[in-house]
Structures are given as structure tokens and as C-alpha cells.
Amino acid sequence: MKRIAHTNIRKKRADRTGYWFVLPYVLFFLMFVAYPLGFSFILIFHRWNIVTPMEWIGLKNFARLVVDPLFFKAITNTFTFLLIHIPLQIVVALGFALALNSNIRFRSFFRAIYFLPVVVSGVVVTILWQQLYAYDAGFLNRLLTAVGLSKVPWIISPEMAMPSIAIMATWKNVGIYIVLFLVGLQNIPRELYESASLDGATTTRKFFHITLPMLNPTIVVVLVLSTIGGFSLFIEPYVLTGGGPMQSTLSAMLYIYNQAFYFNHMGYAAALGFVFAFVILIVVLLQRKSVETEPTL
């Protein structure tokens, strides 16, 4: 009896310590997660410029959104970005990971170099690529003319601007995925390849029947992270093109930013955020459904 009472006291004390330890996070959560989340749900039904009182307008923000050409422009721009960025990223990352996944000297040196753009600020990368992409005196066009090719209007033509940003974003991010694919490759059991070799499988067959299926979880990670990244694209178009030419690089986040901080349309910007988040959710679910072989979540 005495002993039970003792453990009960101990348990209570542990309880109380636990509460004290998590209390800061609970406060943080209420203030910076729960409150903004709840408030955004109110905001989407209002017209508000922060200064004058809020005005209830029901679903008018959404009525406006479904006929807003710039909203659809931002969506199609993001899809253009993803359509180039994702395949490019997977092919490049897989290529380098395969090359690194063998008895290579200086492996960590190469890995370190490929990873360099990942750690450097997106602002630096964008300023740098602005010079590389410049039409008249840019590095890439000088290189092209030096070997006898014609100049490419990288960021000044509406057709090329978003693909150019997608290439730049791939250059910046692909280091992460090289390392992720490398980890994935090293987790494939050697025996699979050995028994396939005994059965007379060619290198190509082994790649498509062992390597690719075994890397499926990594490919799903690349898809999901790249999609979220595409919808969060901001500083690249903000610095490089300002969303132009002809709105061709207006990204989802840049459009929210313009609506909120240029025009002070807080309600409409919040509604845009909501809908974009919903689109992200749908796209990611569809990707998982069509690509994932072993559901994890």
C-alpha cells in the first residue's frame, strides 16, 4: 500500500515535469499555428486592408478567384515549372548518384561540390544566374556564340523564362537528391544483382527491374518535395524577372505576395493561399497514388 502511494507520487511528479517541458511549445503552437490557422479561415470571407475595419463579403473572394486570369496563370506557370523541374531533377540526380555509387576516388569531394549550391542562399544563386542568362553579354549566350550557335532568349521570352527558372532551380537543389539517391542505392541488397546476373540479366534489365523499383520511395520524396518547392517558388522570379515577361513567371507565392503586400488585399491573398494549399494537397495525393508502390502514409 505504501509502495503504491510512493509510485503514485513519483508518477504525478513526472507528469508535472512533462507538462512544464511541453508548455512552451503549447503556447507557441496556440500563437503561431492555431491562431493563424483559425484567423485565416475568418479572413478568407472578408475584404480587408488591415487599416480600415474588416468587411464580411461571404464567398466573394472565391467568386473572384475562379474568374481571375492571373490565378490560373500562376497555376499553369507552376505546372510548367514542375513539368520541367521534376523529370530533370530525377534524371540528373540519378545519373550522378549512379556514377558516384562505385569505387570512385574523391567521392566525397565530388559530393561536396554537387552539394554546394544547396547551402548557398537562393538570392545569391538568382543574382548569379541573372548574369549567366543575360541576353547580350550573359555567360551562357557568349558560350553559345563562341561555339557557333545562336543566342537563347533565356529570361526575356515568355516561352523560355519559366523553363529557365526550372533549370536554375534544378542546379540549385539537385545536390540534395544526389545524396538521397546515393543513400537509396546503397540500401539495395547486393544479392539482388548477383542472382540477377546468374540468371543472365543485362545491365539495362537490372536497372529497370531492380534499381528503379528499389528507388521508388526516394523518387516519391523527390516528387513531393519538388512539388511543394514549386508552389513556394518566390525569390527566383522576384529577383530574376519580377514575374514577367507577360506574367510568364508569376508563381503562386509571388501572386500571394503581390496581392497582400502590393495591393493590401489581405482577404483575397488569404483565399489564394488556401486554394493553392488545396491544389498542393491534390497534386501530391495524385502523385503518390500513381507513383508510389508501397504506401507509407
Partner 1 sequence: MKAILKYFFLAVGATIFAYPFLWMIAASLKPEAEIGGLGLWSSSFSLSSYGTVLTKIPIGRAFLNSVIVSLSTTTSVVFFGSLVGYALARLNFKGKQALFVLILFTMMIPFQITLIPQYIMIVKLHLTDTYPSLIVPTMMSAFSIILFREFFKGLPQAFIDAARIDGCNELKILFRVVWPLSRPTVITVAILTFMTSWNEVLWPLIVVRERSLMTMPQLVTIFTIGGEAESLLGLQLAAATLLALPVIIAYAFFQRYFVESLTSTGLKG
Sites for partner 1 among residues 3-62 (CB under 8 A)? 11, 14-19, 21-22, 24-26, 28-29, 31-33, 35-37, 39-40, 43, 50
291 binds partner 1 (CB under 8 A): no
Choose, by CB under 8 A, the member of 231, 251, 258, 287 that binds partner 1. Answer: 231
* Cell numbers standing for residue 83: 513539368
137 binds partner 1 (CB under 8 A): yes
Comparing CB distances to partner 1, the nearer of 250 and 270 is 270
Comparing CB distances to partner 1, the nearer of 162 and 269 is 269
139 binds partner 1 (CB under 8 A): yes
Piece in contact with partner 1 (CB under 8 A), picked from 111-119, 153-161, 196-204, 205-213: 111-119
- Of 182-201, which residues contact partner 1 (CB under 8 A)? 183
Taking alpha carbons only, the member of 167, 170, 171, 147 closest to residue 155 is 167
CA 77 to chain centre: 15
Q: How far apart are CB 102 and partner 1 at their closest, in Å?
A: 7
Beta bridge partners of 46: 56
Q: How far apart are CB 97 and partner 1 at their closest, in Å?
A: 11
Q: How far apart are CB 190 and partner 1 at their closest, in Å?
A: 19
Site for partner 1 (CB under 8 A): how many residues? 91
280 binds partner 1 (CB under 8 A): yes
Cβ 118 vs Cβ 124: under 8 Å: no
Cβ 81 vs Cβ 230: under 8 Å: yes
Q: How far apart are CB 52 and partner 1 at their closest, in Å?
A: 14
Q: Which amino acid is at 85?
A: H
Choose, by CB under 8 A, the member of 124, 149, 212, 286 that binds partner 1. Answer: 124
Contact pattern from residue 85 through residue 104 relative to partner 1, giving x for each residue in contact according to CB under 8 A and a dash for the rest: ----------xx--xx-x-x
Choose, by CB under 8 A, the member of 238, 249, 250, 283 that binds partner 1. Answer: 238
Q: Kind and range of the H or E element at 281?
A: helix 266-291
Q: How far apart are CB 234 and partner 1 at their closest, in Å?
A: 5
Burial classification of residue 63, based on how many CB atoms lie within 10 Å of its CB (0-12 exposed, 13-18 middle, 19 or more buried): exposed
Comparing CB distances to partner 1, the nearer of 13 and 195 is 13
Distance CA 76, CA 79 (A): 5
Comparing CB distances to partner 1, the nearer of 84 and 233 is 233
CA distances from 194 to 77, 94, 155, 197, 211 (A): 45, 21, 49, 5, 13
DSSP state of 105: T
Choose, by CB under 8 A, the member of 143, 149, 212, 285 that binds partner 1. Answer: 143
234 binds partner 1 (CB under 8 A): yes
Choose, by CB under 8 A, the member of 57, 83, 132, 192 that binds partner 1. Answer: 132
* Cell numbers standing for residue 123: 538570392
- Of 63-82, which residues contact partner 1 (CB under 8 A)? none
